[in-house]
Chain A
Amino acid sequence: MTISVWRYSHLALAVSSFLFIALASVTGIILSFQPVTEKIQPYNTGNIDQLNLAQVLPVLKDNFTDISELSVDANQFVLVNGTGKDGKSGQYYVNPETGKPLARVAEKNAFFQWVTTLHRSLFLHETGRFFVGLTSSLLLLIAISGTILIVQRQRSFKRFFAKIARDNFAQYYHVVLGRLLLVPILIIAITGTFLSLKRFDWIKEKKLVHQIDFDKLRSKPVLKLADFKVFNQISLSAVQSIDFPFSEDVEDYFLLKLSDREMTINQLTGDVLTEKTYDRATLWNNLSLDLHTGRTHVIWALVLAVAAGNILFFIYSGFVMTLRRRASRVKNKWNADACEFILLVGSENGATFSFASSIYQQLIKNGKTAYLTELNNYQAFSKAKHFLVFTATYGLGEAPANATKVKQLITEIEQPNAIDFSVVGFGSHAYPDFCKFAHELNNLLSQQPWASPLLEIHTVNDKSPVEFSNWANTWSQKHDLQLTLLPNVIDQRPIRMKTFTVVEKTKSVQDEAAFLIRLSSKSNRGFTSGDLLAIYPANDHRERLYSIGKVNGGIQLSVKLHPGGLGSEYLHHMGVGETLQAGIVSNRHFHFPKQGKTVIMISNGTGIAPFLGMLDQNTKGRACHLYCGFRSKKSFELYEAQILENTEAKKLSRISVAYSREGERQYVKDLLARDADFIYSTLQGGGVIMICGALAMQNNVISLLDELCQQNENRGISHYQSSGQILMDCY
């Protein structure tokens, strides 16, 4: 984050003036269309730079009985104020070549005039003018401090237009558009400030006074206007206006107001009587008006409209950024070294912070000592027992801005205590590297001797409150915490409870004491293999989740009996025919892949449960390879019949079983190492690996796969994890 005195002044200036700036921008956008509407009128003959006054003035005199003034406006329309041949006087647009009047000048558009007044003085006269002037000078300061911020962000002047890192919509476009429209906005601000200063006489404009020596006026020789030497030299395009002599008296004269000077001309002889150039203030004033109003050029007027529109966007995006930053600010109640729970956040713009801080507040409420900090502040935490890592992924699977150093820190700094951790990745499936950095951190932490995963990695797609609360629930169950969850982040839908009847129970007799239980509801709909069944054995907040295998249309759970275990004891005591209340939790990320080729299923112990269901549902005969680990042949017996059935029905292509307490004393990972070539070619060919079982097994398998990938393609497994080719559901 770019923090400096410039950011604070940028913010302070913006906050103090945004209402006025917004008003000026809106009215400015409207007013920029005034030149557009004016210029589409058909009074521009397009040739005023080819005509000189000696050509124009005589034909005008022929077409009007009397002329008091000729002027050329910003649209290059030629206007005459005088009396026409029909005796009517007023202001007319004329064709300068023929001298013919084209139309009477209409009254100025009342709407634009109203908006102009609002833009200039907010209907508050002098006071309003002062505020508007102040606002435009503040805008100037905002533009300057913004420029400096861009230079700081880009780290040098030379890289001013180099690529900008994209964090989020508001921030990215605030910067990109900021530097793109810097010039028009600076011009608007400078000219606006100048016009105000001039209006309040801080910049003095000297009015020209023509002192004519009437005694020296010549009245001979009388020339025709077409023969005036000076009129032959001046192009109509250089003229702002010409005051015609009021009467035919020699003391009345032509007053020419040109773009840079004024001249008085004897109306009889064409002598130049006086000639005075405008002072600089007047010239700057005209330039400022041209630039500020866009009155001379439609394209510039439209550029101004876009720039003014962008000022509105800057106000919006600036506030979004500020509010986001403020929302993510957390004041820690405890010191880092006093805390048991450490929340580490990797966030680019603060969105992830708000998720983390909601957990932080819940922990504090529950009387726990918790410390929330950025990932880059990773250090040895002397009392820490639990790490919670919340991280976004930035760009192409890289670390977010405040987590760039954390990987190195984790490998270098050893924690004094054994730590269990849980990683939550935030990201969007819209990008190919979904939560890649989170996966990397999770893998890295798993490899640390002092760290053990409490849960497998959870990912949250597009800030989904449901996915986040799924994680929060599971995590809090592990700690037996009751998180009255997070009203600001989460609107968790309560799980719909259904009645299930026990239809079959298969007990295993050996030491491992696992059992299969089949349940059936009325409809048996709304779930598939890989979803979770939530039961509340004590009818309180304590929830137990079991992975569902959909077998023969009903639910089959594989449960390991823990002596004194809340959930397993409860299910163990259920007899056939008894009913229980339970809810289905959809677990989309662990469904059997709809597409793709080969599926490799890896499990240990009761983790085989969802795979049994998936195999049963595999009616299309997709290639499925099952690697499962058990303690002994006896514990595998519980499933053997079903496996056999599936193999015969060609639903299962191949099965490899590892026994950890018998024979070769293998683990699942050893089987995978044996078949490494097959595993890797499956991954490379777009196949999917599904893992279900204990977290320790998952870690072993992932680190094996990681090694495999590193060897073969020089990048880690996180690439496949983020592309959804590795599906995990472990506990």
Chain B
Amino acid sequence: MNNFYKICLVLALLISKPFSSSAQTSKYKCMVQMSNYMGEGAYIVVSLVDSKGAYEKTLYVMGSDKKWYKNLKEWHKFYSKKPTNISAITGASVSGGDRSVTVLEIEDAKINKGYTLRFETSVEDKIYNVKDLEIPLTTEGLSAKTEGKGYIRYVRFSPN
């Protein structure tokens, strides 16, 4: 009997392990409105950045052709060091004047903890913006409209 309980316990631990480590997340609808710039569609990557400015997680990539990723220099340094599967969070690049609505999944535990959402942009043969737009990952930040400095006119969030 002892053995049976031990096996059960091990099994229970094994099964519960992945669940216990996956934190509670929430989905947010995110709208990126582009300015009327001329040129190709912009590649935009949305990253979770900690209080020291270090990349922690890629939340969304707008632009599917991997050959342009190296133009998003800072993020690419992080991504090439720790490549993750981003196929589920990859969408189309966004042209000037267009808007793009995507759904971001953010861990609840990260909110109001000094983290930042960084929108990094790059357009073929045009300048690269490491911080086209940054939003503090706070409850207020996720409900306001934030103006961008480069190709992005503004970004808005709403709970999904």
Contacts and interface: CB of A to CB of B under 8 A. Distances in A.
A172 interface: no
Query: Which of B102, B103, B125, B156: most chain A CB closer than 10 A?
Result: B103
A66 B29 contact: yes
A107 B91 CA distance: 9
A243 B99 contact: yes
B97 A207 contact: yes
B84 interface: no
Nearest to B96: A207
Interface residues of B, number: 18
Contact of B36 (A108, A209, A246): A209
A710 interface: no
A201 B101 contact: no
B82 to A, nearest CB: 23
Nearest to A127: B125
B64 interface: yes
A243 B64 CA distance: 22
Interface residues of A, number: 18
Contacts of B99: 243
A491 interface: no
A537 to B, nearest CB: 79
Interface string B55-81: 000000000110000000000000000
Contacts of A89: 27, 102-103, 160
Given A66-B29, A68-B31, A207-B36, A246 B101 contact: yes
Contact of B125 (A69, A83, A113, A126): A126
A69 B124 contact: no
Contacts of B160: 66, 83, 89
Say what secondary structure dominates the interface of chain A: mixed
A201 B36 CA distance: 14
Interface in A90-139: 107-108, 113, 125-126
Contacts of B156: 246-247
A69 B103 CA distance: 13
Interface in B84-129: 96-97, 99, 101-103, 124-125
B38 interface: yes
21 contacts: A66-B29, A68-B29, A83-B160, A89-B27, A89-B103, A89-B160, A107-B64, A113-B65, A125-B124, A125-B125, A126-B124, A126-B125, A201-B38, A207-B36, A207-B96, A207-B97, A208-B97, A209-B36, A246-B31, A246-B101, A247-B158
Given A66-B29, A83-B103, 15 more contacts: A66-B160, A81-B101, A89-B27, A89-B160, A108-B64, A126-B125, A207-B36, A207-B97, A209-B36, A243-B99, A246-B29, A246-B31, A246-B158, A247-B156, A247-B158
The 7 closest A-B pairs by CB, nearest first: A68-B101, A207-B36, A89-B103, A207-B97, A246-B31, A247-B158, A126-B125
